Structure 1
Amino acid sequence: MTITPATHAISINPATGEQFSVLPWAGADDIENALQLAAAGFRDWRETNIDYRAEKLRDIGKALRARSEEMAQMITREMGKPINQARAEVAKSANLCDWYAEHGPAMLKAEPTLVENQQAVIEYRPLGTILAIMPWNFPLWQVMRGAVPIILAGNGYLLKHAPNVMGCAQLIAQVFKDAGIPQGVYGWL
């Protein structure tokens, strides 16, 4: 038996066996470019205020709703989830954006600590870009439940998705672009 390294992510509909998408793996140059974009995106994003970031979450939710059927169909096609469950995953993900936009800023406010004279506070500061390696079983929800609070907190998010749901990864990136998220704040490999 000969084993050869995979060079592409291949999307195959598990219900029909149809191969419908072939995307090349990110090479060293692609990865380096993504890391440089992420570093630059983070430098700017961390300086934005929390209200602006919350508004961008609302925009992500709107963009996701605008592509809800397209996303649900992609989830079903790539990983075989029944369409009603895929639609529910999209709706839940869009609602997550709204919830964090409304409640997240209060969670990230500086808090005084219980020290003498109230001279110390706990602050939540952006740390950098997070590399997220995600599974296939909830191809949208798993990404969003990580990306939304990470981005709200002023960090960047770089996704390496499961190879059998790369069409979902591509579509999620388009949703973030549609929402006006700056290049480098959200990226994927």
Structure 2
Amino acid sequence: MSQISSQTHAISFNPATGEQIGQYAFESAAALDAALTRAAFAFGKWKRKPLQDRSRLLTALAGALRETSEAMATMITQEMGKPIAQARGEIEKCAKLCEWYAEHGPAMLDAEATQVEGGKARIEYRPLGPILAVMPWNFPIWQVLRGAVPTLIAGNTYVLKHAPNVMGSAY
């Protein structure tokens, strides 16, 4: 068995106590390639999913966030020392974000007529593909979802590389 170090694992410490609270092995190159391949494959299906279905899934995500709110807030507090009330508020803010995009996102993606020299044209919003996000530690759920939610409603997939000190929150 290999030695656990910051070269091989993301290690979470409780900043209030210095206690190690988690260790997460870094992905191998093969595992990373597999994840990127899955994201590309999933994109082919996700971009064809009707917008109303994507909206319903965001609403369901809001519910799931609220159902797991206490466990998520506790992990945020343990990993980064954020007061528990603020951590709970972060989760609720994320649930509201999901609901807002579920309600307003489809209209934001409607095609728009526009004038061009010599005629008419249309502006359309089309999915781009898998989006890679590299996140900081300070809002471990909010930072992720404020990027992921509009990305997902628009028909893209999302691959996350989170900060190593908040991997419990990432998982």
TM, length-normalised to structure 1: 0.85
| Residue correspondence of structure 1 range 9-48 to structure 2 within 5 A | 9-48=10-49
Separation in 2, partners of 1:82, 1:71: 13
CA contact (8 A) 1:112 1:118 kept: no
- RMSD (Å) for aligned C-alpha atoms: 1.4
Moved over 6 A (4+): none
What is the match of residue 106 of structure 2?
105
The separation in 2 between residues aligned to 1:73 and 1:101, in whole angstroms, is: 27
> What corresponds to 1:49 in structure 2?
50
| Structure 1 unmatched ranges of 5 or more | 171-189
Deviation larger for 42-51 or 5-14: 5-14
Q: Which amino acid aligns with 2:167?
A: M
Q: Distance in 1 between matches of 2:6 and 2:16?
A: 26
CA deviations over 1:2-52 (Å, ceiling 9, x no partner): xx8610001111111111211101110110110111011101000111111
SS at match of 1:17: coil
Q: Is 1:145 aligned to residue 146 of structure 2?
A: yes
TM-score normalised over the length of structure 2: 0.94
CA–CA separation in structure 2 for the residues paired with 1:109 and 1:167:
37
State, as a whole percentage, how many aligned pairs show the same letter: 59
C-alpha distance after superposition, 1:39-91 (max 9, x if no partner): 11101000111111111110110111110001100100011100011010000
CA distance, structure 2, for counterparts of residue 116 and residue 63 of structure 1: 49
Match of 1:128 in 2: 129
Number of aligned positions between the proteins: 167
**Preserved contact between residue 139 and residue 168 of structure 1 (Cα < 8 Å):** yes
Which runs of no fewer than 5 residues in structure 2 stay unpaired? none
CA deviations 1:113-136 (Å, max 9, x no partner) are: 124786411000000011000000
The aligned counterpart of 2:158 is 157
Secondary structure of 1:35's counterpart equals helix
